Amino acid sequence: MSRELVIGLDIGTTSVKACVFNIQGNLIAEAEEMNAFHYPQQGWVEQDPAAIERSAVLAIREAVRRAEIGKNELISLGFSAAMHSLAIVDEQGKPLSPALIWADGRSSDQADWVSESKGREIYARTGTPVHPMTPFLKLLWMKETRYEPFLHAAYLMSIKEYLIYCWFGERMIDYSMASATGLFNPTTLSWDEELLQMTGISEDQLSTIVPPTTILSGIKKDIAEQMGLQEDIPFAIGAADGQLANLGIGAILPGEVAVSVGTSGAIRQLTSHIQVSENQETFCYSFTKDTAIIGGPTNNGGIALQWLKDLLNDQGSFEAFLKAAGHVEPGSEGLLFLPYINGERAPIWNQRAKGNFYGIAVTHQKEHFIRAVLEGITFNLYQIGKALEKIAGEPKKIYVNGGLSRSSEWLQMMADVFEAEIYISENHHSAAWGAAWTALVATGKVDSFEEIKRNIPMGTPIIPNPENSKRYKLIYDNYEKLVKKIVELF
């Protein structure tokens, strides 16, 4: 009997994943290709868009092979991608620059003066905080420093747009990826003319803005052959990974919050209209014509744990490393960690922020530091969640996804700190499933985004431990006080 399959391509920061699903949301096969990072100077973080394009082709090819997809079994493919990358390309689509990714902080000076002069006005208009992560600030840096590739730019693209241009010869960007540039007006669903003038670029250097259900067809023959696909397979342009992670885990109704933690992290909620916070603590990015997502991103998720593991020269598995935290009581015996080792976005929006251990004692061992880092990541998410709550109200249901959601120690910590039941999907690839579902909506195979709730295999909820929650309330108060003191020193 012929199967009905769909592929979600998740173009992340650390890797590219191609996931094959059936239409009930069950994972049939997956393939992953890792992405390299380059750090030419302190605070600069770059990736090679051409290498990521090759990784995407290889990931799709391997997923197709592992799933043993037969003729006429594949319905469509949808894109998910990390936000805030920016590359300069020529008219033929050849990269003139590396891709500057979200973690790149070279435009910190530009962020400072924009924040002081008209930051509040720009934030209110775009829903995008003024921060070095955004292409808007990166372009200001390029203009002011006369960055050589910028002077010869034909087009300005995210890595996702670059892939689409390579494969289809089309320059298109969906609402959510456009929103993340900081150059987009979500009210008019168009590029903001004043911000284009500030950066010195023209609208024809940017891609055409389209809905997430836009179909891309006619993939180049040689690319299709390399992927092991038929040329007539429809691709849906999809959206950014944040919006699609919420969709893929089912956090799509009012009061439903999604927490994602991979290399970085975020806490998000879908809304029917643009909402910004008074103190620029959260973002608000478009998804469809009628919906947007509000939330806050952190630079420091799994990257902080990987840093500690490398620092301690721990040669064991990541799973065993995290399990060590379970041998320590909540609070890590007085050890607190501020997880700003990679600068920070929400809630403090300061790329110059640095990580801190506070309360180190001679009795602290390796497992105390592991638990303290896990708790620091979780407290930071909780602090962002409190800012989100001011706008969207108290969460009714919390869903968790991302690589860290495979840790039972961390899931229990989340339940205890947030003092709420935590819901997880048996499928850990929520952004990829959201991209795949968008492709099903785009092709008319399913009727709506909301219908996905019947097609997510859910695991058993994690229940908070009342005693731990009580302790964490007191510990978090100390954490928040420490943040307020330390922030003044950055």
Q: What is the mean predicted confidence (pLDDT) over 265-280? A: 86
- Name, in order, each residue with C-beta under 8 angstroms of 118's C-beta and a sequence gap of 6 or more: none
What's the rounded Cα separation, in Å, for the pair 323 and 340? 23
What's the rounded Cα separation, in Å, for the pair 274 and 289? 11
User: Is 1's pLDDT higher than 70?
Assistant: no
Return the pLDDT at 392: 87
Return the pLDDT at 426: 87
Residue 370 amino acid letter: I
The torsion region of residue 267 among left (phi > 0), alpha (psi -120 to 50) and beta comes to: beta
- For residue range 398-443, list pLDDT tens digits in order: 999 988 999 999 999 999 999 999 999 988 899 999 999 999 999 9
Percent of the chain with pLDDT over 90: 90
What's the rounded Cα separation, in Å, for the pair 174 and 190? 11
> How many CB atoms are closer than 10 A to CB 183?
26
When the pLDDT of each residue in the chain is averaged and rounded to a whole number, the result is: 95
Return the pLDDT at 279: 74
For the chain, the straight-line distance linking the first and the last C-alpha, in angstroms and rounded, comes to 62
User: Is 306's pLDDT higher than 90?
Assistant: yes
User: Can you list the pairs that 321-329 forms with residues at least 24 positions away whose Cβ atoms lie under 8 Å?
Assistant: 321/370, 322/370, 322/374, 322/407, 322/409, 322/410, 323/409, 324/366, 324/367, 324/370, 324/371, 325/367, 325/370, 325/371, 325/374, 325/409, 326/409, 327/367, 328/367, 328/368, 328/370, 328/371
Is this structure's pTM higher than 0.95? no
- For residue range 334-389, list pLDDT tens digits in order: 999 999 999 998 889 888 899 999 999 999 999 999 999 999 999 999 999 999 99
Q: What is the mean predicted confidence (pLDDT) over 83-104? A: 97
- Could you tell me which of 83, 254, 70 has the C-alpha nearest to residue 160? 83
Rg (CA), the chain: 22
Candidate from 54-58, 273-277, 448-452 with smallest mean pLDDT = 273-277
- For residue range 235-267, list pLDDT tens digits in order: 999 999 999 999 999 999 989 999 999 888 999
User: Is 196's pLDDT higher than 90?
Assistant: yes
User: Is 61's pLDDT higher than 90?
Assistant: yes
Return the pLDDT at 281: 83
List, in sequence order, every residue forming a beta bridge with 84; answer none if it has no partner. none
User: Is 123's pLDDT higher than 90?
Assistant: yes
Q: Give the single-character DSSP code of 127.
A: S
List, in order of start, the domains of the chain with CATH numbers: 5-243 (3.30.420.40)
HEC secondary structure over 12-64: CCCEEEEEEEECCCCEEEEEEEECCCECCCCCCCEECHHHHHHHHHHHHHHHH
Residue 465 amino acid letter: N
Return the pLDDT at 139: 98
- Name, in order, each residue with C-beta under 8 angstroms of 199's C-beta and a sequence gap of 6 or more: 136, 139, 140, 143, 183
Given a contact cutoff of 8 angstroms between Cβ atoms, the answer to whether 439 and 6 are in contact is yes
Burial class (CB in 10 A: 0-12, 13-18, 19+), 165: buried
Q: At what angle do helices 108-126 and 135-145 cross, to 10 degrees?
A: 140
